[in-house]
Structure 1
Amino acid sequence: MRVIPLFAILLLVIFSASAMAATLHGTVYDDELNELNDVVVEVNSTPQQRYVSKDGSYTFNLLPGTYSITARYNKDDIYSYSSEDAVTITDDGDFVFDLFLFADLDEAIELIEDSEDISINGETEDMVPSQQRNIGVTAVVTAFVILMAVLVYAYYWRKKKEREEAKEIDRVARTAKQRAREHPPDKKVKKVLEELELKEKVEKEQHLATETQIILDILKKEGGRSTQKEIRKYIPLSEAKISLMIAELESQGKIKKVKKGRGNIIILN
């Protein structure tokens, strides 16, 4: 007769665990906010769950706890995309958690190192097609690395130039202030200078407001979210200027910036 109560207790435990489970789901994107298909998504639950997303979305049922969610996507023989995020489930419910995958450049560099032993001194004609293809891949990756080095050098050169210009402007401003203290202008000249300074300040604020509005329009066009790299394609300004405009919008509560890998995801509030 005690079999029935034990069976009832077992059913109660099973239903209690099911009631506490939460549903975690979302969409998988690359670094340009394109949905990715054929992505392998895993979560370190007990037992471990693995899901192959054919349409860019995934779903897991999880008990309360902290989990690591990893996703991997192989675009071609050269580049692969991956991500690893930590998520904490505190209660049952339905939760959305999108995944953003970034290219693994370390693997491309390893490909270069593995291809260094290929000789191209008159032996290309005797190579099989797979070896010729490896040489082509090496040439492409090498060109990419050289291009990145040139871009990094140009970036730091421009930063140095901007710092030198800022120092020169600061020096001129200090000299002007020193001369103003030594030779204070009369009241009329002082009034004109104050009016010119006020006019210049208003024009700068209006110009900044126009530029930040362009960023808001870009985010609306992109469906409410974009990368800082994508925004810069629309606005021909320096990286420092774009960052300043984004910081201004963030301080106004109009956007939210999410750090992902080596880039930023900008989300319209």
Structure 2
Amino acid sequence: MQKFLPALVLAILLSSPVSAAIIEGKVYSWETFEPLKNCIVTINTTPVQRYVAVNGSYMFEVEPGVYLLEAYYYGDITLYANETVRITENGTYRIDLLAQPVIEELNVSAPEISFELGNGKRESSWPVVPVFIALTVVIAASGYLIIRKRGEKSDDEEALPEDLEELLAIIRRSGGRITQKELKQLTGYSDAKISLMLTDLERRGKIERVKKGRGKIIFLKE
């Protein structure tokens, strides 16, 4: 019996479940602040784990370490979000992601420029090429900035989504001043969604948030 005891102890240890931390959360759309359906969430474990978040929710089991959490959505426009997560001990970690449009880098290719010499041979005009490339980059960058400014202006002028209008109406009824905790109680929204909505309103210049103690007070700027 004593000969089999070490083997029995080893078998029990190997069969014991290995505890791991859980990373879970939701992916939200930058435009509507609603859960982003049918997106792909990945985490760079070994091997890499991938999760198709049908209703925007995901969950991974990981060992302690530092990981890169990424979310992709492929529709009319491509949306992307990422977050670096440090896991120090076992437990459940809640990480919500806000997916935003991907802005691709401008790729500028200059055509070949040449001139004809007196002997009929065509040679590249090397002093002209760098100047042409520089001008092309400047023109492309200027056009991009103009389009971006127009887009920002149209975003400011367009009507607010219903949920943001609802939030502003609650702040107005409270005399233009309310705490973030009170907003959560009145709307029933989660902390993550309230925070995202207030960030959007602050970006549009509608409100201002001031930290007081452990909470925040929201002031109407209209």
TM-score by length of 1: 0.47
Bigger radius of gyration: 1
Q: Which runs of 4+ in 1 moved over 4 A?
A: 1-4, 143-147, 151-154, 214-220
Equivalent position amino acid for 2:75 in 1: K
Matching residue of 2:169: none
Conserved? CA contact 2:179–2:216, under 8 Å: no
Give the whole-Å Cα distance in 1 for the aligned partners of 2:42 and 2:188: 29
8 Å Cα contact 1:215-1:231 kept in structure 2: no
Q: Between Structure 1 and Structure 2, which shows a larger proportion of strand residues?
A: 2
Please name the residue that 1:227 is paired with: 197
C-alpha separation in 2, matches of 1:227 and 1:252: 21
- What secondary structure does 2:59 align onto? strand
Alignment size in residue pairs: 162
Alpha carbons 1:26, 1:58 under 8 Å: kept: yes
The Cα shift of 1:251 comes to 3.1
Partner of 1:81: 79
Q: Which has the higher helix share?
A: 1
Matched, 1:30 2:33: no
Return 5+ residue gaps in structure 1 as ranges: 115-142, 155-208, 258-269
Q: Distance in 2 between matches of 1:151 and 1:24?
A: 36
Identity %: 24
How far the C-alpha of 1:34 sits from its partner, in A, is 1.1
Contact preservation (8 Å) 1:37, 1:55: yes
**How much is the aligned-residue C-alpha RMSD, in angstroms?**
4.1
TM-score (norm 2): 0.56
Distance 1:8 1:39, change over 3 A: farther
1:229–1:95 distance in 2 versus 1, CA, 3 Å:
closer
Long gaps (5+) in structure 2: 110-142, 155-173
Aligned to 1:5: 6
> C-alpha distance in 2, partners of 1:45/1:14?
23
1:251 — aligned with what? 212
Q: Is the 8 A contact 1:218 1:231 kept in 2?
A: no
Displacement after TM superposition at 1:61 (Å): 1.0
**Contact 2:24 2:59 (C-alpha < 8 Å) held by counterparts:** yes
Structure-1 separation of matches of 2:216 and 2:56? 26
For residue 227 of structure 1, what is the amino acid of its counterpart? Answer: M
TM-superposed deviation, 1:42: 0.8
Does residue 177 of structure 2 align to residue 212 of structure 1?
A: yes
Describe the superposition over 1:180-203 as per-residue Cα deviations: whole angstroms up to 9, x where unpaired.
xxxxxxxxxxxxxxxxxxxxxxxx
